[in-house]
């Protein structure tokens, strides 16, 4: 029996965090009921919040929900300017009813948040509303959901060597698809993690919560394997359930894998350049998965992208994951760091029994490449040399 001390310690820490977040959320909810404080996830302009069906993505703005800043935004900010207490300000803003109509350029709005926060700090000597702690308080429900996901991630890692855990992969994916996809409208939005991180690194003061979540994903992948992609991600789940094509086997060849990797790297570079040039949340406007989850399409480009996602997913196993997803690419690199936990083959006899189970085409020449999503399908080959481990390949 291998020691899994680290896993159990992290699980314990996550449990403690979960209890803390739930306690804080209850505290805030009861304060709201008493009318003393309002910190729930208000529909803050811009997509730094959550573009779920009830918020950004749900608006039937033909230009795309997050495309432009309207005049209403300015009015709201000037209303905010005139009031004194920051809690009341958020409350007024939420109660005004105009919040739902706001669609904004997040870069501009975040600048306004920062500017307004500095002013408040000067005026009131109080903490600015965009401070990290404030953001954490405003996102307790997101943090609760994310912590539960992390706990499932660690548990999968602990029991990965058992057979029964692999029977749970599809039910877990289905649960993720239904809850995070169709109920929450695709939140946490995987591409938003990347978008906000690039904006943050380029000097824009975006909400910090999504870049923080990306860092958590990176650390978790290093410690416990790329289980996010194979078991938890709702976007991966949608593609997985759509997939019907076993015919394009040539896509699993070594050459195809290389080409797919080049396409993915190029797509991510283009995405970075586009984000840096436009300084907006491009993802929110054109991310087809959100359109699918909320069952609404805002513009002709989105019709094309949604069609592309559905048709390609029917034919190709996880086309978005393999050719575009920037988070997937980052996690690929993380899994290559020495001592990162990942699925490895030791002492491969090249019998190739496992090859046919790997739809990603990640098993090449007796080794597993970085496209592996730790789905564990190859375990059906009953080969004891395939393991999720930190040990180096032998």
> Is 229 an interacting residue with respect to ligand SF4 (CB under 6 A)?
yes
Contacts of 208 (CB under 8 A, 6+ apart): 132, 135, 200
* Window 199-228: residues binding ligand SF4 (CB under 6 A): none
Nearest distance, CB of residue 215 and ligand SF4, angstroms: 14
CA 21 from chain centre, in angstroms, equals 19
Among positions 292, 344, 372, 387, the unique one binding ligand SF4 when judged by CB under 6 A: 372
Q: Which is nearer to ligand SF4, 10 or 375 (CB)?
A: 375
Residue 206, by phi and psi: left (phi above 0), alpha (psi -120 to 50) or beta?
beta
Nearest distance, CB of residue 77 and ligand SF4, angstroms: 35
> Is 321 an interacting residue with respect to ligand SF4 (CB under 6 A)?
yes
Nearest distance, CB of residue 266 and ligand SF4, angstroms: 16
Q: What is the distance between the alpha carbons of residues 27 and 233, in angstroms, rounded to a whole number?
A: 30
DSSP state string for 293-319: HHT---SHHHHHHHHHHHHHHHHSSSH
Q: Which is nearer to ligand SF4, 10 or 345 (CB)?
A: 345
Q: Which is nearer to ligand SF4, 200 or 360 (CB)?
A: 360
Q: Which is nearer to ligand SF4, 149 or 343 (CB)?
A: 343
CB 343 within 8 A of CB 372: yes
Q: What is the distance between the alpha carbons of residues 59 and 284, in angstroms, rounded to a whole number?
A: 12
Give the residue nearest to ligand SF4 (CB).
328
Q: Which is nearer to ligand SF4, 39 or 229 (CB)?
A: 229
Q: Which is nearer to ligand SF4, 28 or 360 (CB)?
A: 360
Q: Which span (54-62, 176-184, 262-270, 371-379) binds ligand SF4, by CB under 6 A?
A: 371-379
> Is 268 an interacting residue with respect to ligand SF4 (CB under 6 A)?
no
Q: Which span (154-162, 244-252, 273-281, 322-330) binds ligand SF4, by CB under 6 A?
A: 322-330
Q: Which is nearer to ligand SF4, 49 or 376 (CB)?
A: 376
CA pseudo-torsion sign 98, 101, 105, 110: positive
Helices (H), the chain: 5-34, 71-82, 86-95, 106-124, 132-138, 140-159, 164-167, 169-176, 190-201, 209-224, 227, 234-242, 254-278, 282-286, 288-294, 300-315, 319-323, 326-336
Contacts of 290 (CB under 8 A, 6+ apart): 51, 57, 185, 186, 189, 284
> Is 47 an interacting residue with respect to ligand SF4 (CB under 6 A)?
no
Nearest distance, CB of residue 147 and ligand SF4, angstroms: 18
Separation in Å, CA 163 to CA 59, 81, 204, 225, 254: 44, 59, 47, 17, 29
* Window 327-366: residues binding ligand SF4 (CB under 6 A): 327-328, 343, 357-358, 360, 362-363
Half-sphere exposure of 183 (CA within 13 A, CB side): 8
> Is 381 an interacting residue with respect to ligand SF4 (CB under 6 A)?
no
Nearest distance, CB of residue 105 and ligand SF4, angstroms: 26
Summarize as ranges the residues that interact with ligand SF4 (CB under 6 A).
190, 229, 233, 235-236, 320-321, 325, 327-328, 343, 357-358, 360, 362-363, 368, 372-378
């Amino acid at each position: 029996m291998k020691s899994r001390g680290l896993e159990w310690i992290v699980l314990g820490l996550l449990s403690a965090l979960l209890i803390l977040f739930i306690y804080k959320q209850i505290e805030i909810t009861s304060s709201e009921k008493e009318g003393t404080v309002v910190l729930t996830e208000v529909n803050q302009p811009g997509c730094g919040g959550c573009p779920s069906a009830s918020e950004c993505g749900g608006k039937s703005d033909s230009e795309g929900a997050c495309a432009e800043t309207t005049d209403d935004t300015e009015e709201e900010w000037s209303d905010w300017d005139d009031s004194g207490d920051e809690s009341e300000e958020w409350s007024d803003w939420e109660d005004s009813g105009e919040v739902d109509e706001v669609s904004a350029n997040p870069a501009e709005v975040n600048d306004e948040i920062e500017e307004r926060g500095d002013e408040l700090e000067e005026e009131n000597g109080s903490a600015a509303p965009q401070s990290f702690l404030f953001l954490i308080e405003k996102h307790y429900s997101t943090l609760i959901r994310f912590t539960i996901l992390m706990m499932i991630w660690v548990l999968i890692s602990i029991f990965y060597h058992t057979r029964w855990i692999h029977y749970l992969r599809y039910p877990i994916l289905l649960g993720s698809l239904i809850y995070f996809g169709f109920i929450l409208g695709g939140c946490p939005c995987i591409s938003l993690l990347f978008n906000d991180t690039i904006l943050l690194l380029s000097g824009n003061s975006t909400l910090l919560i999504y870049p923080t979540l990306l860092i958590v994903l990176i650390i978790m992948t290093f410690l416990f394997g790329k289980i996010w992609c194979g078991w938890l991600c709702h976007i991966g789940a949608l593609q997985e359930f759509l997939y019907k094509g076993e015919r394009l086997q040539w896509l699993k060849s070594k050459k195809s894998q290389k080409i797919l990797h080049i396409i993915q790297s190029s797509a991510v570079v283009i995405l970075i350049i586009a984000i840096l040039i436009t300084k907006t949340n491009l993802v929110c406007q054109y991310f087809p998965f959100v359109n699918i989850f909320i069952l609404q399409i805002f513009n002709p480009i989105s019709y094309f992208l949604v069609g592309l996602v559905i048709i390609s997913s029917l034919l190709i196993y996880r086309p978005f994951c393999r050719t575009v997803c920037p988070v997937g690419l980052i996690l690929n690199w993380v899994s290559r760091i020495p001592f990162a936990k990942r699925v490895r083959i030791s002492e491969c006899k090249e019998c190739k029994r496992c090859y046919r189970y790997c739809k990603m085409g990640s098993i090449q020449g007796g080794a597993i490449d970085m496209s592996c999503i730790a789905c564990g399908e190859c375990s059906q080959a009953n080969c004891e040399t395939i393991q999720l481990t930190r040990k180096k390949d032998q």
